[in-house]
Amino acid sequence: MCGIVAYTGKRNAAPILIDGLRALEYRGYDSAGIFLSGNLEAKLPSKLVKAVGPVNNLASKITDAYSGTAGISHTRWATHGVPSKANAHPHSDESGKVWIVHNGIIENYKELKQALQTKGYKFASETDSEVVAHLIVDKLKRLKIEQAINQTLKELRGTYGLAIMYDKEPEKIFAARMGSPLVIGLGDGENFIASDPTPILRHTKNVIYMNDGEMAIITPDSHTIFNLDNVQVNREPDQIEWSVEEVQKGGYDHFMMKEMMEAPEVVKNTLRGRLLVEDGMAKLGGLESVKDRLRQIKRIIIVGCGTAYYSGLVGEYMLEEYAGIPVEVEVGSEFRYRKPVIDEGTAILAISQSGETADTLEAIREGKRKGALTIGIVNTVGSTIARDTDAGVYNHAGPEIGVASTKAFISQLTALALFTLYMGRQRQMSLVTGKKIAEELLDLPEKIKKILDSGNLANIKKIAEKYNKFEDFLYLGRKYNYAIAFEGALKLKEISYVHAEGCGAGEMKHGPIAMIDENFPTVAVALRDSVYEKMISNIQEIKARRGPVLAIGTEGDEELAKLADDVFYVPKTLEMLSPILSVIPLQFFAYYFAVLRGLNVDKPRNLAKSVTVE
């Protein structure tokens, strides 16, 4: 995997593809490649260029001589084989008849490869992807290109998003999807294929999201979609809501900084049109079709991965305390292997920024097989999870380019609060409680703005400078801020590559405290809430062992400053909403910590934004 861009039209394809790859670079970036088809009438030969490293390494090799009006390109996040020119996409057979770029994993590639090798086919890479090109060529001996691709797809096990070119039809691009997202962009005399809408946004806002088990053919003036039974599929295009400006840095040094600064607007957008303050209720149009079934739900299982999983842990506290519904939170990658007990009284709530997370998607499918109601909280309209769930809530956070999720996490917590209000008012929550939650939600953007004051950010940066020499950190939290300890630690290790681990503060005494000394700082989320006294005791235990302590506290808590070495304060809010505020200084702390070490916070090593492999 990771990012595909393809173009066919009247313009020179090379700069369009390179520009598109740059827009997708946040998804994965260890190598990149581009193939431009030839043109016999214009006497233009086909061109292939690959490079290891970021897209700029590839772009530096593209000169004016690299012209052509159709091509496919790819930026890679390695799964099979080390980053190298040989393993970079596009891949072809020895004859150069068929060229492919691929996202996903072909699980049965070894047996397919062995069968092809016995026929005399030679492989040039360590990848699982190359087998696709050879399979198609093998079938071209007896089939037309469309049939050869169709029959190849039927032999593949695993996941794929594919863009394919054939030397005999240089203006055509073939695409296929199974578990790895692809979108068709429709232009005027030109058409596109991409992993998501970001790289084609400057060219068109009309897109068609491909479904699993579909194959598409695009030319400059047409597009057709078929299922694997060769039945044509007709689907109206969607309009992308984002603007080009939203996927640009807007004057900030990094996308991560821009996206953290958008937090007040993110909360407003997630809430917009959804709060009935006087009624103490939430209006969630995406749940209207299943509202009667939701009233009968006896249990909710929240599934997510990484940051989305941690937002689910916060949601567990919200829903159990205010809606009175038993909740379990599961890591998406483990859920379906655990043989979970599911019935019609169970709802599966899937949380995913991209809406394409493979492990979370498989959890949804497992739930549906067993009769559960499936609900999604996703940020990407038209994504697979948005389409495969029975109902859902969109975050409306706008595009998030930084690999380490920040504003999407804020929007997930806000959406979970809305969902809690919605479910709670269906059940035991009183009007007074509902109004209080609704009013506090409306106040959050202004409270976030206080945290983002330039003086406060300068203070966080100063604290980051103080702690920048340390290589190990312990993060502590309890109750609603239990998950924030894990999320804060995740942010630091994602972009700084230092050891940081989250821990429930009550669990510290059962092992982690053994690590504490003067060289092992603790970041403690110690707000004035129902577990404040317990957190103070934990901080005292750390200080008794000479451990430095950075605390996140509630405005006005002067006692905390007497105990901790450093304190950053956030405004007071309802305990259930406090994680939305407490996580923000932890995001900025991680950001400044990494920047001070000279690291690229937008593109942390080894990570990809949208993980579409299991």
List active site positions: 2, 609
Do 98 and 54 contact (CB within 8 A), yes or no? Answer: no
Measured CA to CA, the distance from residue 520 to residue 498 in angstroms comes to 12
Task: Report d(CA 166, CA 179) in Å as an integer.
Answer: 24
- Give φ, ψ of 406 to 5 degrees: -130, -70
Half-sphere exposure for 152 (CA within 13 Å, toward CB):
35
**Largest separation between any pair of C-alpha atoms in the chain:** 80
Residue 203's closest CA among 212, 194, 211?
A: 194
Question: Edge-to-edge, what's the strand order for the sheet holding 299-304?
Answer: 327-331, 299-304, 346-352, 373-378, 391-394
* Distance, CA of 257 to CA of 406 (rounded, Å): 9
CB contact at 8 A, 359 and 332: yes
Strands 472-477 and 499-504, sheet pairing: parallel
Whether 88 and 597 have beta carbons less than 8 Å apart is answered as no
Among 97, 6, 88, smallest CA distance to 50 is for: 88
Name, in order, each residue with C-beta under 8 angstroms of 325's C-beta and a sequence gap of 6 or more: 297, 298, 299, 300, 319, 423, 427
Q: By CB neighbour count within 10 A (0-12 exposed, 13-18 middle, 19+ buried), where does 213 fall?
A: middle
Helix/strand/coil for 164: strand
How far apart are alpha carbons 192 and 585 in whole angstroms? 40
Contact (Cβ atoms closer than 8 angstroms) between residue 237 and residue 200: no
DSSP code for 355: S
The CB density around residue 369, as the number of other CB atoms within 10 Å, is 10
Number of Cβ atoms within 10 Å of the Cβ of 239: 9
Peptide bond into 604 cis (omega under 30): no
Distance CA 141, CA 237 (A): 36
